[in-house]
């Protein structure tokens, strides 16, 4: 039915900045782009929507000169465009903000931005040469050649970058080293980098994957300012909410195929989801009432430090009962990682007690926690969740390998391990696995790896599940799946401690909700008793963050009132 | 004209590449080595025949290779096992020396029937090698201090202790040479009938099988693989990094210790000052080439033994300086290790795909915009 929305691409030729027609790109065994059309108009924010592996990144790599298409044409600004390398795209006026920032932490903002397009130091520049013998020397060929390679003039770029930053309201010190900036600021540096090169088209690859909701809001404001100034923006995403809130039109890809381009205003979220996934997706999660049981986790006065020895958690109390989901909201870096790791037994607390089903385990090794029925879905799937170079089979039994079903005390029965792993892969619909013993964990996509990890952690029917950002960076189908499984596990009597930066997720799933800020729980509430605004304010430290929220929504006085209420509650 | 080289990761390694690459690498190394051989006026073909074919000529020559291979297999395992857990036992040489010293001492000073004394010698040198690895292992497991440095430094200590002993307390035999007296006949490893190869080879092969079983059929092997692949994830799952590091490095030391005594009691019959043959260092490329499976490591050890024995033959029979043979050996190792790259990556070279104008423009420094 959405086919009817497709814009015939010939209608408004003059408005089109970019026309990619019938792009085909195949890899051995995969058609990543199967005759995909993409037309971007001047001054629009164009969404490129699709699940992981739908071909979004491939299409953008073709546009950025990283891949040569097998078929198809690209016209930019009316001219046919031949792209052999990213420099060709940059020269044509296309800029890209990659998901993983391409910045050098040691260098300053300005140095990062002028990388690759620097200019010589002031005395050697044409307009400063003046007259006299010295000028003749400075303008001579060899001197100019040396100066252009070995001298660096930062004065003028710095001025220009500051002006650009001011123009778009970026609060960035252009001489600060990038390592001192937070994630949101680094992203703004990437955007500045593109603007500095005078792009007409800016591509952002999953820009909000690393941002908090407040920062994401700021980014969208920036994007709107950019298109007001005549730029065009391509926003690659798999988040429907973002597509609905900022894009003008959206092109949907599914498994390499071009599903169509629609005006965003004419479709609703569920239609977009259906285009993207190919079936109906449930947004309303059915959360039956359950009766909670005995406490499975009682953490009292827990303090912890991070790997560099900095205090990250100060005297936190958390209780999780069997059969409930306790959600922890917070801006990344406020102690969630340390809290998750201490209650999962991976990190030793510096103070406090941790009782799992009534047993004191604060100083016990991780093995004891595993034995007591604690499951853990860590924040970083690759670093802590799996051994990438080992097979899916190895990873599927990472927690359960001690189980008697896999052989007696010494020998390990890889035959039954393989069967068990295949079963998990089928049960949890982990795709991309043809042979559990041959496929490595690192070759799975993010969503599928997360499914495998969740399968492994849930197969044990744990007493307590600690899940840190279980749906971050995975596609909508996998998110739906993970959320359903979390609820299912809660209904079966597991206590779940859920850390998330996605407030919708927390509000949909949690029975109780805690907000963490700078290593302390600053609000204890339930989704029914509170609002997203209040939680958002508390996540950002109460009073301090009102400014940011007020900026986003100046009229919302209720937010501030709610914030005051929240503060007096503790 | 522009030469453009692209490197892509292979999704799958075709079997002809998997098995053919090592052979091709050796051939390429030998082709390059021709330059060195011709430079000193040696017929390369005759040299290669002497080096690689003649050792297979008779049972006696084959058993020479096996005698050489015996300590290499054992000490190779001593590096291989810690490597599986993600550790680099660079100091296997020191553990080998510790095993040789203690084994020799037991052999000379303990009088027991042959059937009893040999197990005691083996056990003693394994314990000595294991203990020599224990401190580096503990420092690594407990405090994260690099085992690469500590095991290597422990080698220097072992080497100096050995020199002191063969010149002092353990010096024996006639003529005051820096060496111990000959091992008593009961302590000599009996030869396998009809060959020069000794029971040490059987011990080595038995341990290869044991290591295979423990790595591929037991929970211990599962833990070792997991810790070696991602220690953080393994810890999260309740596996003890501490225990795996300690166990594998100490076991590696014990195997290196066995290598030491098997060379003394099976081949040299006494501990010389110049005993240190560098087997412990050779073990590193052996383990590296064989890191994907213990039977491959066995093959690598046999191949290195062939290189050594064949190299000796060329030096002796054709009066080629041993430095030239070192060059040939080094090139073979270099080519073999480089060749692994081509098993995992595909190299495509295209010539003149882009016209010159474009490529120059791409590398130009933009001075103003």
Report yes or no: B369 at the A interface, CB cutoff 8 Å: yes
Q: Return the pLDDT at B59.
A: 87
Residue A534 lies in a domain: no
Residue A354 lies in a domain: no
Q: Return the pLDDT at A516.
A: 93
Q: Return the pLDDT at A569.
A: 34
Q: What is the rounded CA–CA span in Å between residue A282 and residue B91? A: 60
Q: Do A406 and A264 lie in a common domain?
A: no
Q: Do B233 and A28 touch (CB under 8 A)?
A: no
> Is the per-residue pLDDT at A6 higher than 50?
no
Strands (E), chain B: 3-9, 345-351
Mean pLDDT of A495-508: 90
Q: Do B240 and A198 touch (CB under 8 A)?
A: no
Q: Do A87 and B362 touch (CB under 8 A)?
A: yes
Q: Is the dihedral of CA B75, B77, B80, B81 positive or negative?
A: negative
H helix or E strand, kind and range, residue B16: helix B15-39
Mind listing the pLDDT tens digit for each residue in B210-220? 999 999 999 99
Q: Return the pLDDT at B13.
A: 65
Residue A419 three-state SS: helix
Q: Return the pLDDT at A283.
A: 62
Query: A97-101, A251-255, A335-339, B135-139 — which one is most confidently predicted on average?
Result: B135-139
Any idea which residue has 């040696």 for tokens? B42
Q: Which of A244, A277, A310 is the last residue of a domain?
A: A277
Q: Return the pLDDT at B12.
A: 64
Q: Return the pLDDT at B342.
A: 75
Q: What is the rounded CA–CA span in Å between residue B97 and residue B271? A: 10
Confidence label for A3 from pLDDT (cuts 50, 70 and 90): very low
| Residues 6+ positions from A507 with CB-CB distance below 8 Å | A327, A513, A527, A532
Q: What is the rounded CA–CA span in Å between residue B137 and residue B232? A: 18
Q: What is the rounded CA–CA span in Å between residue B11 and residue A311? A: 44
| Residues 6+ positions from B172 with CB-CB distance below 8 Å | B108, B179, B180, B181, B270
Which residues constitute the domain of residue A434? 382-459
Q: Do A397 and A258 lie in a common domain?
A: no
Q: Do B235 and A412 touch (CB under 8 A)?
A: no
- The structural domain count of chain A equals 2
The gap between the terminal CA atoms of chain A, to the nearest Å, is: 52
Mean pLDDT for chain A overall: 83
Residue A488: Cβ-neighbour burial (10 angstroms; 0-12, 13-18, 19+): exposed
> Is the per-residue pLDDT at B336 higher than 50?
yes
Q: Do B238 and A371 touch (CB under 8 A)?
A: yes
Residue B150: Cβ-neighbour burial (10 angstroms; 0-12, 13-18, 19+): buried
Structure tokens at B61: 């020559």
Confidence label for B367 from pLDDT (cuts 50, 70 and 90): very low
Q: Return the pLDDT at A129.
A: 67
Residue ranges of alpha helices (H) inside A229-292 are 240-246, 269-277
Confidence label for B11 from pLDDT (cuts 50, 70 and 90): low
Strand A232-237 and strand A201-205: the pairing is parallel
Q: Is A150 left (phi over 0), alpha (psi -120 to 50) or beta?
A: alpha
CA of B51 to nearest chain A CA: how many angstroms apart? 38
Confidence label for A2 from pLDDT (cuts 50, 70 and 90): very low
Report yes or no: B212 at the A interface, CB cutoff 8 Å: no
Residue B11: closest CA among chain A residues belongs to which residue?
A28
Which residue among B223, B232, B367 places its CB closest to the CB of A383? B232
B 299-328: CB under 8 A from A: none
Q: Is the dihedral of CA B128, B130, B132, B135 positive or negative?
A: negative
> Is the per-residue pLDDT at B346 higher than 80?
no
Q: Which of A398, A420, A449 to mutate to probe the B interface, most B CBs <10 Å? A: A398
A 122-151: CB under 8 A from B: 125-126, 148-149
Q: What is the rounded CA–CA span in Å between residue A260 and residue A179? A: 41
Report yes or no: A408 at the B interface, CB cutoff 8 Å: no
Closest CA relative to residue B180, chosen from B242, B252, B122, B265:
B265
Q: Return the pLDDT at A77.
A: 87
Residue A83 lies in a domain: yes
Which residue among B11, B229, B358 places its CB closest to the CB of A28? B11
CB-CB neighbors (< 8 A) of B291 in chain A: none
Q: Return the pLDDT at B356.
A: 38
Q: Which of A459, A480, A497 is the last residue of a domain?
A: A459
Mind listing the pLDDT tens digit for each residue in B251-287? 999 999 999 999 999 988 899 888 767 899 999 989 9
Q: Which of A160, A341, A345, A390 to mutate to probe the B interface, most B CBs <10 Å? A: A390
Q: Do A387 and B226 touch (CB under 8 A)?
A: yes
Closest CA relative to residue A499, chosen from A332, A375, A371, A365:
A332
CB-CB neighbors (< 8 A) of A120 in chain B: 367
Residue A225 lies in a domain: yes
Mind listing the pLDDT tens digit for each residue in B17-30? 777 788 888 899 99
Distances from the Cα of A128 to the Cα of A141, A152, A157, A387, B369, angstroms? 16, 15, 16, 58, 16
Q: What is the largest CA-CA distance in chain B?
A: 90
CB-CB neighbors (< 8 A) of A397 in chain B: 222
Q: What is the rounded CA–CA span in Å between residue A39 and residue A437? A: 44
CA of B204 to nearest chain A CA: how many angstroms apart? 22
Mean pLDDT of A38-46: 92
Q: What is the rounded CA–CA span in Å between residue A63 and residue A60? A: 5
CA of B354 to nearest chain A CA: how many angstroms apart? 9
> Is the per-residue pLDDT at B231 higher than 50?
yes
Q: Do A269 and A396 lie in a common domain?
A: no
Residue A27 lies in a domain: yes
Report yes or no: B357 at the A interface, CB cutoff 8 Å: no
> Is the per-residue pLDDT at A531 higher than 50?
yes
Report yes or no: A420 at the B interface, CB cutoff 8 Å: no
Q: Return the pLDDT at B145.
A: 94
Q: Return the pLDDT at A546.
A: 43
Evaluate whether A54 touches A256 at the Cβ level (below 8 Å). yes
Q: Do A270 and A391 lie in a common domain?
A: no
Q: Do A414 and B232 touch (CB under 8 A)?
A: no
Q: Of B357 and A108, which is predicted with more confidence? A: A108
Report yes or no: B12 at the A interface, CB cutoff 8 Å: no
CATH of the domain at A40: 3.40.50.300
Evaluate whether A64 touches A202 at the Cβ level (below 8 Å). no
Q: Do A270 and A387 lie in a common domain?
A: no
Q: What is the rounded CA–CA span in Å between residue B332 and residue B326? A: 10
In the 3-class helix/strand/coil scheme, how is A335-376 assigned residue by residue? Answer: CHHHHHHHHHCCCCCCEEEEEECCEECCCCCHHHHHHCCEEE
Q: Return the pLDDT at A319.
A: 94
Report yes or no: A159 at the B interface, CB cutoff 8 Å: no
H helix or E strand, kind and range, residue B157: helix B147-167
| Residues 6+ positions from A35 with CB-CB distance below 8 Å | A22, A23, A24, A71, A72, A257, A258
Q: Do A402 and B219 touch (CB under 8 A)?
A: yes
Residue A26 three-state SS: strand
CB-CB neighbors (< 8 A) of A117 in chain B: 366, 369
**Cα dihedral A549→A551→A554→A560 (10° resolution):** 30
> Is the per-residue pLDDT at B355 higher than 50?
no
Q: Of A99 and B101, which is predicted with more confidence? A: B101
Q: What is the rounded CA–CA span in Å between residue A112 and residue A456? A: 42
Lowest-confidence segment of A359-363, A566-570, B172-176 by average pLDDT: A566-570
Residue A566 lies in a domain: no
Residue B53: Cβ-neighbour burial (10 angstroms; 0-12, 13-18, 19+): exposed
CB-CB neighbors (< 8 A) of B218 in chain A: 410-412
CB-CB neighbors (< 8 A) of B217 in chain A: 411-412, 414
Which residue among B218, B219, B367 places its CB closest to the CB of A148? B367
Mean pLDDT of B72-79: 96
CB-CB neighbors (< 8 A) of A383 in chain B: 230, 232-233
Q: Which of A411, A440, A459 is the last residue of a domain?
A: A459
Mind listing the pLDDT tens digit for each residue in A303-353? 999 887 888 899 999 999 999 999 999 887 888 999 999 999 999 999 999
**Cα dihedral A365→A406→A414→A378 (10° resolution):** -40
Q: Return the pLDDT at B325.
A: 85
H helix or E strand, kind and range, residue A314: strand A311-321
Q: Do A390 and B234 touch (CB under 8 A)?
A: no
Q: Do A86 and A204 lie in a common domain?
A: yes
Residue A229 lies in a domain: yes
Q: State the number of CA atoms in the 13 A half-sphere of A521 facing the CB.
A: 23
Structure tokens at B225: 């693989």
> Is the per-residue pLDDT at A537 higher than 60?
yes
Q: Do A84 and A204 lie in a common domain?
A: yes
A 191-250: CB under 8 A from B: 197-198
Mind listing the pLDDT tens digit for each residue in A460-494? 899 999 999 998 878 777 888 899 999 999 999 99
Q: Do A256 and A387 lie in a common domain?
A: no
Q: Return the pLDDT at B3.
A: 65
Q: Do A384 and B368 touch (CB under 8 A)?
A: no
Q: Do A268 and A411 lie in a common domain?
A: no
Mind listing the pLDDT tens digit for each residue in A201-247? 999 988 887 777 777 888 899 899 999 988 999 999 878 888 888 99
Residue A258 lies in a domain: yes
CB-CB neighbors (< 8 A) of A402 in chain B: 219
């Amino acid at each position: 039915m959405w086919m009817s929305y497709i814009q015939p691409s010939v209608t408004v030729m003059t408005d089109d900045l970019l026309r990619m027609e019938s792009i085909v790109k195949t890899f051995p065994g995969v058609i990543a782009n199967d005759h995909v059309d993409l037309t971007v108009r001047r001054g629009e924010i164009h969404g490129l929507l699709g699940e992981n592996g739908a071909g979004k990144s491939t299409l953008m790599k073709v546009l950025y000169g990283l891949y040569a298409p097998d078929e198809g044409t690209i016209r930019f600004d009316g001219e046919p465009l031949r792209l052999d390398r990213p420099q060709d795209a940059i020269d044509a006026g296309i800029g890209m903000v990659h998901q993983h920032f391409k910045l050098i932490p040691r260098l300053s903002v300005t140095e990062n931005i002028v990388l690759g397009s620097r200019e010589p130091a002031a005395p050697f520049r044409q307009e400063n040469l003046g007259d006299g013998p010295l000028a003749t020397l400075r303008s001579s060929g060899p001197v100019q050649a040396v100066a252009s390679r070995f001298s660096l003039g930062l004065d003028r770029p710095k001025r220009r970058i500051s002006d650009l930053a001011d123009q778009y309201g970026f609060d960035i010190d252009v001489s600060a080293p990038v390592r001192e900036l937070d994630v949101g600021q680094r992203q703004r540096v990437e955007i500045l980098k593109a603007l500095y090169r005078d792009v007409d088209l800016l591509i952002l690859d999953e820009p909000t994957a690393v941002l908090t909701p407040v920062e994401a809001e700021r980014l969208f404001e920036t994007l709107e300012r950019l298109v007001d100034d005549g730029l065009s923006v391509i926003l690659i995403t798999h988040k429907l909410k973002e597509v609905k809130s900022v894009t003008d039109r959206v092109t949907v890809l599914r498994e390499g195929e071009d599903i169509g381009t629609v005006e965003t205003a004419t479709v609703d979220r569920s239609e977009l989801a259906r285009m993207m996934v190919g079936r109906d997706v449930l947004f309303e999660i059915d959360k039956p009432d359950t009766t909670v049981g005995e406490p499975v986790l009682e953490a009292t006065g827990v303090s912890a430090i991070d790997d560099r020895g900095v205090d990250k958690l100060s005297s936190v109390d958390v209780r999780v009962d069997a059969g409930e989901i306790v959600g922890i909201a917070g801006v990344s870096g406020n102690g969630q990682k340390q809290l998750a790791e201490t209650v999962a037994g991976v990190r030793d607390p510096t103070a406090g007690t941790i009782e799992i089903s009534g047993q004191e385990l604060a100083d016990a090794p991780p093995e004891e926690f595993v034995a007591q029925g604690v499951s853990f879905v860590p924040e970083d799937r690759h670093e802590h969740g799996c051994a990438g170079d080992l097979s899916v089979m190895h990873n599927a039994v990472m927690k359960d390998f001690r189980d008697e079903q896999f052989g007696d005390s010494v020998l390990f029965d890889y035959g039954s391990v393989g069967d068990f792993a295949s079963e998990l892969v089928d049960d949890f619909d982990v795709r991309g696995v043809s042979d559990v013993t041959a496929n490595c964990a690192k070759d799975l996509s993010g969503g599928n790896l997360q499914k495998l990890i969740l399968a492994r952690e849930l197969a044990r029917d744990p007493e307590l599940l600690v899940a840190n950002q279980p749906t971050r960076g995975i596609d909508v189908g996998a998110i739906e799946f993970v959320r359903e499984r979390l609820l299912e596990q809660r209904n079966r009597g597991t206590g779940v401690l859920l850390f998330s930066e996605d407030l919708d997720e927390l509000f949909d799933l949690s029975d109780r909700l805690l907000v963490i800020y700078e290593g302390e729980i600053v609000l204890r509430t339930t989704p029914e008793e509170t609002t997203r605004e209040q939680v958002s304010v508390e996540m950002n430290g109460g009073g301090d963050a009102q400014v940011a929220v007020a900026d986003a929504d100046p009229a919302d006085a209720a937010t501030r009132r709610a914030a005051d209420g929240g503060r007096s509650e503790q | 004209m522009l030469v453009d080289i692209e490197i892509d990761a292979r999704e799958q390694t075709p079997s002809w590449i998997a098995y053919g690459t090592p052979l091709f690498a050796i051939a390429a190394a030998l082709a390059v080595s021709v330059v060195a051989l011709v430079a000193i006026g040696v017929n390369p073909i005759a040299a290669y025949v002497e080096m690689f074919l003649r050792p297979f000529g008779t049972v006696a020559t084959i058993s020479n290779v096996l005698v050489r291979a015996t300590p290499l297999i054992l000490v190779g395992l001593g590096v291989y096992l810690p490597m599986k857990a993600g550790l680099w036992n660079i100091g296997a040489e020191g553990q080998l020396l510790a095993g040789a010293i203690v084994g020799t001492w037991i052999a000379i000073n303990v009088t027991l029937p042959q059937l009893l004394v040999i197990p005691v010698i083996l056990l003693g040198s394994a314990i000595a090698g294991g203990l020599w690895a224990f401190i580096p292992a503990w420092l690594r497991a407990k405090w994260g201090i690099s085992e690469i440095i500590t095991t290597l430094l422990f080698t220097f200590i072992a080497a100096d202790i050995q020199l002191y002993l063969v010149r002092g307390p353990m010096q024996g035999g006639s003529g005051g040479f820096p060496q111990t007296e000959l091992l008593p006949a009961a302590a000599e490893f009996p030869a396998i009938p009809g060959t020069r190869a000794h029971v040490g080879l059987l011990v080595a092969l038995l341990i290869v099988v044991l290591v295979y079983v423990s790595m591929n059929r037991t929970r211990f092997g599962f833990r070792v693989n997991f810790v070696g692949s991602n220690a953080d994830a393994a810890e999260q799952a309740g596996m003890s990094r501490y225990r795996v590091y300690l166990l594998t490095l100490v076991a590696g030391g014990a195997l290196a210790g066995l290598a030491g005594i098997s060379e003394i009691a099976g081949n040299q019959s006494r501990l010389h000052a110049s005993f240190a043959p560098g087997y412990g260092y050779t073990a590193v490329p052996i383990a590296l080439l064989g890191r994907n499976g213990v039977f491959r490591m066995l093959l690598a050890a046999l191949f290195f033994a062939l290189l050594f024995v064949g190299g000796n033959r060329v030096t002796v029979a054709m009066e080629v300086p041993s430095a030239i043979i070192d060059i040939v050996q080094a090139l073979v190792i270099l080519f073999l290790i480089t060749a692994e790259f081509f098993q995992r990556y595909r190299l495509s070279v295209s010539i003149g795909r882009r016209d010159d104008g474009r490529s120059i423009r791409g590398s130009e420094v933009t001075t103003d915009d």
